[in-house]
Structure 1
Amino acid sequence: MRNILILLSCFILQPVFAECMEFNEEKFEHYLKSKSKIELIFFSSWCSDCKEDLLKIRKNQKNLKDKVVIINTFDRLEKANTALKALEIELDCYFDRDRVLTKKYNIKAVPAHVYVNQ
């Protein structure tokens, strides 16, 4: 019984870090409409300034859960997920494989911050 409790506590106490979801325009637009003000943070795993931004956010991410969405661009999905785990990020993340959002918001470099629904 003790072994089961120890095993369960390992799963319960472990934070669940974000994994980028594949971007789907329809679902993303629906997601945005369900929020009032939201900040989109565009990042890449190889960008040191991006990592600094995410580290600053990490300290307050519990309060930002419904206010910030991370968008990975100019990157590979596996690298994005590895970076999020290493930085202990728990916020929603979308992987912009075809750069739909990157083009829509005219993102030329990362990090970039875009505020929507204001």
Structure 2
Amino acid sequence: MFKYFLRIAFFIIFLNYTLFCYAKCKEMELPDFEKSLKKLEKVKLVFFSTWCLDCKEKLEKIKEFKSNKDNVILINTFTTKSNPDDVLKAFDLSDFTCVIDSSHKIRKRFSVDKVPKILDYSSTID
């Protein structure tokens, strides 16, 4: 009975760990996104989509930004079917902030018409 309890406890802990480590992407509208950008002096905006093979190649190189101590925001756009959290998990990018741009207003604000696209953004410019 005790072994059964331990197995259930382990499963619950593992499930919670997996959800909290990789459930990073959240929907965000343009006004909230712009507010969060103003808190950062400089940031790299990485626009990607889950179906895009070129994006996946670019995501493999994104970890270099972390080692350079750069602020990075991953922005999932042009996507309606796939879960971007799965992509983050596959590329071990769970440390990065990820935003889902389902309204496409963020990508339009930054004139992104194709992915992948990496922009250097400075809040001191706007």
Report the TM range for the smaller structure's normalisation: 0.7 to 0.9
Q: Does 1:56 align with 2:61?
A: yes
Aligned to 2:42: 37
Measured against aligned partners, the alpha-carbon deviations of 1:39-61 in whole angstroms (never above 9, x if no partner) come to 10000011111111111123653
Aligned to 2:88: 84
Query: Which one is further off, 73-82 or 29-38?
Result: 73-82
Give structure 1 stretches of 5+ with no counterpart.
none
One-letter code aligned to 1:30: K
Output the TM-score relative to the length of structure 2.
Answer: 0.73
Give the count of matched residue pairs.
116
Query: Which one is further off, 96-105 or 51-60?
Result: 51-60
Output the TM-score relative to the length of structure 1.
Answer: 0.77
Partner secondary structure for residue 16 of structure 1: helix
Aligned to 1:17: 22
One-letter code aligned to 2:90: A
Aligned to 2:3: none
Q: Is the 8 A contact 2:29 2:103 kept in 1?
A: no
Aligned to 1:27: 32
Aligned to 2:103: 98
Give structure 2 stretches of 5+ with no counterpart.
1-5
